[in-house]
Structure 1
Amino acid sequence: MSKVNNTVAIILITSLFFFWGFIHNLDPILISHLRSAFSLTHLQASLIDSAVFVAYFIMAIPGGMILKKYGYKTGILIGLVVFAIGCFLFVPAANTMSYTFFLSALFILACGITIIETAANPYITVLGDPSKAAQRLNFAQSFNGLAAFLAPWIGGYIILAKPPLSHDQVAALSAVDKLAYIQAETAIVKGPYIVLGCVILLAAVLFLFTKLPEVKDEEESSTGFFHAFKHKNVVWAVIAQFFYIGAQICVLSFMIVFATEVAGITAFEAKDYAAIAGLVYMVGRFFGTFLMRYILPIKLLLVYAVICCGLTLLSILGTGMITLYSMIGIAFFMSIMFPTIFAIGIQDTGADTKSASSLIIMAIVGGAIFPPILGYISDLTGNMQNGYYVVLLCFLVVVLFAIYNKKSSINSTVSH
């Protein structure tokens, strides 16, 4: 592969990190908006995350099989088309005013994203110097962070511009007025997702007509996906990613709801804090990528995970705006976790790289499991902060991952 081809490929693949980051970071807006429109509990609202992240569990292995048979480019194209279809399904979901239909559209959309992520994450690590794989993946993931900043801000102005009615106000409406209210609220989301679907289709056309370098595995492996578990770093990465993604989704997806219920501000005001969280998440990615020039990724991961544990405790035990500020702090320090865990997990896996990628992507199902647990605890105790003990547990697992791998050869991911 030429350096020019590598550069073009890296630019195009990096754009994908922005696309799926943008769509994922509309979820907090969607949770807040649909929770009001359909008078949902915390647990019911958390099913938005479940619909998205269960797709990672279901589609990661099929996505990996597509990669093994057809290569990275074809996998990305298939993923983009499915991604766009999911976006367009928001139109009939809104027209039928069905929460279940919304969840189905999100699931299909996420199936496409899963295939894209299964391809893009390992692809970016092998396009260039292996010793800089963690840095390269963190850099690409930084644009995921850019999306985390822009999505709440843009989506908030479009979707949350009009203050929603409270559950009691919705309950007091007549049957006709309630139906009209739900219809108006659900119709608001159609425009943004139609635009996104069109953009994703344009991206698919661009990828179709662009020649990308196809990276071959060291050797073809016919031992199956689970053969990758012979690598201990893969096993640990799957476990750590499962818990980390659970923490990330709990923190970011419930940011607006947390801000309104714990910090006591309005949803429209809260969208600005969600955007700030996305901004510091992005800055954290770029800053973490810079620090990895001088600090081993695994050591940086350990320090950041410990800090996240402390900030989570502050969010649980604190009161007022300090709890929201601590949540924003968590966004900064957790920013390097996914790409670093991923890069460590697939290092030195050889012919098992695509399989290892699929297994680690499957672990993203943690984003479907932990938000409902957080929602259930919040509903059960009547205090949303209590649900964040779930987040604390997740970060403690990341601490254990970093400690276990501290002395292993995967430290060579850093560039000295």
Structure 2
Amino acid sequence: MALLASLFFIWGFITVINNTLLPHLRSVFELSYTQTTLIESVWFIAYFVASIPSAKLIERVGYKKSMVIGLCMMAVGALGMIPAARLPSYGVTLFALFVIACGITLLQVAANPYVAVVGPANTASSRLNLVQAFNSLGATLAPLFGGYLILGRSTGGTATAEQVLTPAERLADAQAVQLPYLIVAVVLILLAIMIARYPLPAMGGKRVEKSERGSHSLWRHRNLVFGIPAIFIYLIAEIGVANLFINFVSQPHIGNVTHEKASHYLFLLWGGMMVGRFAGSILMRSMSAERVLAGAAIGACIVMLIATFTTGPTAMWALIAVGLFHSVMFPTIFTLGIRGLGPLTEEGAGLLIMAIAGGALVVVQGWLADMYGLQMSFLLTAACELYVLFYALWGAKPTNAFPDNR
């Protein structure tokens, strides 16, 4: 569990570096909101493309080797950001980030179901919320790292929202990502070496034999059928908030701060997710996961409406507060989605991880921001919270569940 917590930490850290990278790239390449969010869409398309190959690779070489391969892929992608910065090239940047995301997908397919089934089923949500809290710890620290080494060392990161950069300043700013990603690559390689030397235990459980497979259908399990779109839709909400946060807070009528200072507030957003996951892990020991999830969905919808229709500090702090409510959503939906799947757990988990590709549709929010304004685009996030509420109240109820024999 401690080793898995370190994996959750590192992929949370690397994923959230994107939140400081995106406003930086928007300045360097003079991108629209649609083009900016397309960068994150490419990141999440990797989940759709790589999930099934990842599952097959795990089946072929085992969990430990797959984790090592995933970390090495991430390191290669991080090193690819260096030539992308030197050129500089928008296309090479997209490819490097895609490689990193494929490596993270491999780790996700391995680690999430492992944590969920390694203990009693009735505490699976609590357990996954606990290790996901370490994912949020990495996400909390990432804005400070990116804010200091990327935004703090660039002209665009320390400029006001209205300032227009010269071509020479944009070229100089592009070089700022080299050191952070070199550090990330070194850490990933060291972690891969550590895991390769660690005697990771095999995950228990048998897959359904091919001769029996015809009598079992994943689609007879309502909690999984509605859980897949719940993960997909939730990711649109989480990634949309995180990716547009710095641009939102830096606007004159909201926070009126530089991108570098806005990244410090992003630290609070992810810090709220970390606190919420630790709290959720405790709450779910005495309260049903469905009730906790429903309360989080209602809270998230309320604060998103406040962020949309108010201005100044009120809107800014409402957007920060959504991190607290988003905290429990992914791990809770995931564990509710695989509840009662028995020998079909691995296949169901693979489909839920593939649904993380929903983050790719953040480009829709980018388009809404271009068409109707950044603030109004958060109505999409509020709508996503309503589906999560539906899932908590009805969609998560299992049907045709296998008995828990652990």
TM-score when normalising by structure 1: 0.90
Aligned position for 1:335? 327
Aligned position for 2:185? 197
1:357 CA displacement: 1.3
- SS for the counterpart of 2:205 is coil
Query: Residues 323-402 of structure 1: matches in 2 within 5 Å?
Result: 323-369=315-361, 371-381=362-372, 383-402=373-392
CA contact (8 A) 1:142 1:283 kept: yes
1:409 CA displacement: 7.6
CA contact (8 A) 2:270 2:323 kept: yes
Q: Matched residues in 2 for 1:275 and 1:380: separation?
A: 29
CA contact (8 A) 1:68 1:354 kept: no
Amino acid at match of 1:330: V
Q: 1:315 to 1:200 in 2, by over 3 A?
A: same
2:51 to 46, 60, 64: 60
1:378 CA displacement: 1.2
Q: Matched residues in 2 for 1:27 and 1:390: separation?
A: 21
1:111 to 102, 108, 111: 102
- SS for the counterpart of 1:384 is coil
Q: Matched residues in 2 for 1:362 and 1:67: separation?
A: 15
Aligned position for 2:274? 282
Aligned: 1:246 with 2:236: yes
Aligned position for 2:286? 294
Q: Matched residues in 2 for 1:23 and 1:129: separation?
A: 31
Moved more, 204-213 or 65-74: 65-74
- SS for the counterpart of 1:109 is helix
Aligned: 1:186 with 2:178: no
- SS for the counterpart of 1:281 is helix
Moved more, 214-223 or 77-86: 214-223
Q: Matched residues in 1 for 2:183 and 2:239: separation?
A: 24
Q: 1:58 to 1:245 in 2, by over 3 A?
A: same
Aligned: 1:100 with 2:88: no
Aligned position for 2:219? 229
Aligned position for 2:38? 47
1:355 CA displacement: 1.4
Q: Matched residues in 1 for 2:103 and 2:365: separation?
A: 27
Q: 1:82 to 1:186 in 2, by over 3 A?
A: same
Q: Matched residues in 1 for 2:392 and 2:117: separation?
A: 23
Aligned position for 1:269? 261
Query: Residues 46-195 of structure 1: matches in 2 within 5 Å?
Result: 46-161=37-152, 162-164=154-156, 170=164, 173=166, 178=167, 180-195=168-183
Q: Output one character per residue of 1:138-185: Cα deviation in whole Å (capped at 9) or x when no partner.
A: 0000011111210001210111114415797547x4xxxx1x323311
Aligned position for 1:6? none
Segments of structure 1 that go 5 or more residues without pairing to the other structure are 1-9
Q: Output one character per residue of 1:198-233: Cα deviation in whole Å (capped at 9) or x when no partner.
A: 111111111111111102323444459x95333222
Q: Output one character per residue of 1:9-40: Cα deviation in whole Å (capped at 9) or x when no partner.
A: x1111111000000111111001111111111
Q: Matched residues in 2 for 1:94 and 1:219: separation?
A: 45
CA contact (8 A) 2:227 2:396 kept: no
- SS for the counterpart of 2:375 is helix
Q: Matched residues in 1 for 2:258 and 2:171: separation?
A: 22
1:403 CA displacement: 1.2
Q: Matched residues in 1 for 2:401 and 2:244: separation?
A: 34
CA RMSD of aligned residues (A): 2.2
Q: Matched residues in 2 for 1:163 and 1:294: separation?
A: 50
- SS for the counterpart of 2:287 is coil
Aligned position for 1:19? 10
Moved more, 345-354 or 151-160: 345-354
Amino acid at match of 1:213: P
Q: Matched residues in 2 for 1:229 and 1:77: separation?
A: 33
Q: Matched residues in 2 for 1:313 and 1:192: separation?
A: 35
Q: Output one character per residue of 1:340-394: Cα deviation in whole Å (capped at 9) or x when no partner.
A: 000111122222222111111111111111x21111111112x211111110111
TM-score when normalising by structure 2: 0.92
- SS for the counterpart of 1:188 is helix
CA contact (8 A) 1:93 1:101 kept: yes
Q: Matched residues in 2 for 1:407 and 1:356: separation?
A: 16
CA contact (8 A) 1:346 1:353 kept: yes
Amino acid at match of 2:194: L
CA contact (8 A) 2:37 2:363 kept: yes
User: Structure 1 vs Structure 2: percent identity of aligned residues?
Assistant: 36
Q: Output one character per residue of 1:34-64: Cα deviation in whole Å (capped at 9) or x when no partner.
A: 1111111111110121111110011111111
Amino acid at match of 1:218: K
Q: Matched residues in 2 for 1:198 and 1:227: separation?
A: 44
Q: 1:46 to 1:221 in 2, by over 3 A?
A: farther
1:410 CA displacement: 11
Segments of structure 2 that go 5 or more residues without pairing to the other structure are none
Count of residues in correspondence between the two structures? 395
CA contact (8 A) 1:296 1:411 kept: no
1:406 CA displacement: 5.9
CA contact (8 A) 1:288 1:336 kept: yes
- SS for the counterpart of 1:263 is coil
